[in-house]
Structure 1
Amino acid sequence: MTLDLVEAAESMDVESDMHSIGETARTSGLTVSALRFYDAAGVLVPAAVDPHTGYRWYAVSQLRAARLLAGLRRVGLPLAEITEAVRALPDVTVARRLLDVHLLRLVDGLADARRELSRIHALLDAEENRTTMTTTTTRVTADAADLAGALDAVRFAVGTDPEIPALAGVHVEVSTDVVRFAATDRYRMAVAELVPTAVDGPAVTVLVPGGFVTGVRSQVDRNPVAELVFGPDGVDASAPGWRITTAPLDHDFPDYRPLLPVRGAEGRRQVTVDAAELRRALAPDRAPRVLREHLGATHPVAVLAVSDTGVVELADEAAWHAAPDRYVAVNREFLLQAVAAAGGGQLVLDLDGPIRPLAVRLPVDDRSCSLLMPIRH
């Protein structure tokens, strides 16, 4: 047998034990060009290359790696991590770890995209509502006690910083079946929803001054029913015997909706507490003494965690220092104000770690919610 015939026979043996690049592409879901790219990148190097034609051949054992590579490519895993996962085979723990990390990136990216889309929609809504209020009138009739409760739930969070006038009021959104109030001073946020008796007119969004809200709250208990009117002449609140009018604030209120907690969301640590017991535990003579500087003044801090038995516990400085990731720390006075705004009875606290806001809300009613920004150790 000549040398050429020997080489041909050896080539046939290689081909019978391996898959061509085309077969590998069809089996794995990768394109031929993708296989060439991953060869050049050193991710999936062919088991053999024809020395005369340069044709690539892949071993049967490489098909599993090719299928994994195709899947990792489809979910957008970075090249360096694809390489790490493929090279670690047959150990699949590396691929699982990388996929878990990548999933968190995708979730965070989706959350960022949703926040940006929400912000854009808010800008569009604000522009649309500016036009609406200059040409139409919307009347809202509501139970006075419900209106008082909604105002109490948010007005404590109205900003007072003259450098940020957009936070010096309460954001009001009126739709066909609900009125939502929101306020924030950057360090806490409060949202409340009111189910009105009637709404006559188009949806409207407006920012009303904090003083207007305080004035309405001082009068609304005098009557069983109150009316809010949003129109070209401003915003009007009235009932028999009193009337308060204001011009809306011409500022864009920040989009707060992406920050709102979602009931039942995976990974949330929620605990039910008695409002009166929590207030007693936070009293200066009972709560651990933890202090922090904020805006040029010293403030007491409440450091909270959920025990193994599902009970809220307050920690002192030493415990917080020893395990900072276990606790959520917030301004104690802000927490007391949020508890008072929510009313008595049972409350739900969302404690999602040291860098997420602490949420205070009612157990069976998500219409009212307060968020307190965390204080890092």
Structure 2
Amino acid sequence: MRSIGEMGRDSGLGVSALRFYDRAGVLVPAWVDPVTGYRWYAPEQLGEARLLARLRRSGMPLADIRLVLAGWAGGDTGLVPRLLDGHLRRLERGLAEAREELSTVRALLGHKETSMTTATATARLTVPGDGLAAALDAVRYAAGSDPELPVLCGIHFDIEGDALHLVATDRYRMAVARTSATTTGTGGGRVQVTVPTPLADAMRALLTDGAPALLTVDGDGVELETQGGRVAGQSLGEDFPDYRRLTRLPEGRRLALDVPALRQALGAQEAEVCVLVLADEVTVGDEDGAGDRVGDRVGDRVADRVGVNPAFLLDALAAGEELLLEYIGPKAPLVLLRPDVEDVFSLLMPVSLEP
């Protein structure tokens, strides 16, 4: 007999997936200890589990997987090939439809680009050196590095009135920070520019004494001048995503976090995904919700389980020692807020706990 841990390791399904398939009646353990509830699997179930893992990786629906496994166990050599062929045809049809829709989207984007006129953006503003340094530190971790998406490989500067917002995202997380600014010259209205990360890092290196800095945007050119020196370069030419639209989220339930305790709990995690359990308190632990307390009581509630990338969450915790976690729903981003600073927050996409 194999324990659930051994079965997960040998089959490639993982412990959480085996628990899910047991509850779904797809792969039921041969024996469950009536005292501990621990699951044990017969040797002959290993082949079935490996087959199940391959079918799930192919994207086959659970209902069809049940039929394939039943045919496999019953020796039905006619049903299984028909199910596999039908699934492959659905995948091919779905890919063809996706190609057609994406071709239409590309055509619409091309039409939009040719119909728009590009105005030269100019702005000249003075920003507090310590404020700009703090804003850069708050968002730098979320900047992308994928060469296929160069527009995300930078920090977006959004200048409007007396505010400068800095934004960075790699699709899986996004960080936003705000600092005050005094505009001394502008081409009019809102000015946006995306600064490549090497140039942004060079800017940060100049901000060492907290003295005011002069930021100049002239078309694609960006320059920062301080008492200690000057750096200049070219911005990224593509349009940055509309981050304001991405942050229009419904209000969720807020929990105060013990950041040091959360860092310690996450540091002990070895898996690529850890589980936050949100109930009367916030815990981080295994799939069953066992773990260390890292939050405060918010009343009696049914526990919500949310998967997160522990490394990404650790990066977001660098924003401060006092943070709030805002939970909206299992599919919505987790929001990390600083209660003492306005317009400084991070969004972190959850990781699916479904196998």
Q: TM-score, normalised by structure 1?
A: 0.56
State the partner residue of 1:274.
258
The residue aligned with 1:183 is 168
Distance in 2, Cα, partners of 1:255 & 1:302: 30
Residue 303 (structure 1) aligned to one of 275, 287, 307: 275
Asked if 2 retains the 8 angstrom alpha-carbon contact of 1:209 and 1:249, the reply is: yes
Residue 195 of structure 2: aligned partner: 208
Change (3 A) 1:254 1:325: farther
What is the correspondence of 1:352-363 to structure 2 with a 5 Å cutoff? 352-363=328-339
User: Does the Cα contact within 8 Å between 1:325 and 1:353 map onto a contact in 2?
Assistant: no
Cα separation, partners in 2 of 1:194 and 1:275, compared to 1, 3 Å: same
Q: Structure 1 or 2: larger helix share? A: 1
1:131 to 119, 124, 133: 119
1: distance between equivalents of 2:339 and 2:220?
A: 39
Picking from 299, 303, 309, the partner of 1:331 is 309
User: Match for 1:317 among 277, 284, 287?
Assistant: 287
- The Cα of 1:359 is off from its aligned counterpart by 0.9
* Corresponding letter in the other structure for 1:215: A
CA contact (8 A) 1:150 1:192 kept: yes
Match of 2:50 in 1: none
Mapping 1:35-184, distance limit 5 Å: 130-133=118-121, 137-184=122-169
Provide the identity percentage: 39
CA contact (8 A) 2:124 2:217 kept: yes
Cα offsets for 1:109-160 (capped at 9, x unmatched): xxxxxxxxxxx9xx99xx67x4132xxx311111111000100111111110
Whole-Å separation in 2 of the counterparts to 1:233 and 1:251: 10
Matched, 1:350 2:337: no
1:15-63 deviations in whole A, cap 9, x for unaligned?
A: xxxxxxxxxxxxxxxxxxxxxxxxxxxxxxxxxxxxxxxxxxxxxxxxx
Which of 254, 258, 283 aligns to 2:267? It is 283
Task: Flag structure 2 segments of 5+ consecutive residues without an equivalent.
Answer: 1-108, 291-301
Q: Which consecutive aligned stretches of 4+ in structure 1 deviate over 4 angstroms post-superposition?
A: none
Q: Structure 2 vs 1, CA of residues 232 and 143 (structure 1 numbering), >3 Å: closer, same or farther?
A: same
Contact 2:283–2:289 (Cα < 8 Å) also in 1? no
Greater Cα radius of gyration, structure 1 or 2: 1
Alignment-derived partner of residue 77 in structure 1:
none
When structure 1 is superposed on structure 2, of 273-282 and 144-153 the one drifting more is 273-282
Count of aligned pairs between the two proteins? 228
1:142–1:196 contact (8 Å) kept in structure 2? yes
Q: CA deviation at 1:315?
A: 2.9
Give the distance between the partners of 2:161 and 2:329, measured in 1 at CA: 37
Q: CA RMSD in A?
A: 2.5
Q: Which amino acid aligns with 2:286?
A: D
Q: Label 1:283 to 1:232 Cα distance change in 2 as closer, same or farther (>3 A).
A: closer
In the other structure, the counterpart of 2:46 is none
Hey, what does 1:80 align to over in structure 2? none
Give 3-state SS (helix, strand or coil) of 1:249's partner: coil
- CA shift, 1:232, in A, is 3.8
What SS is found at the alignment partner of 2:131?
helix
Alpha carbons 1:169, 1:210 under 8 Å: kept: yes
| Structure 2 Cα separation of the partners of residues 142 and 192 of structure 1 | 14
Tell me by how many angstroms 1:223 deviates: 4.5
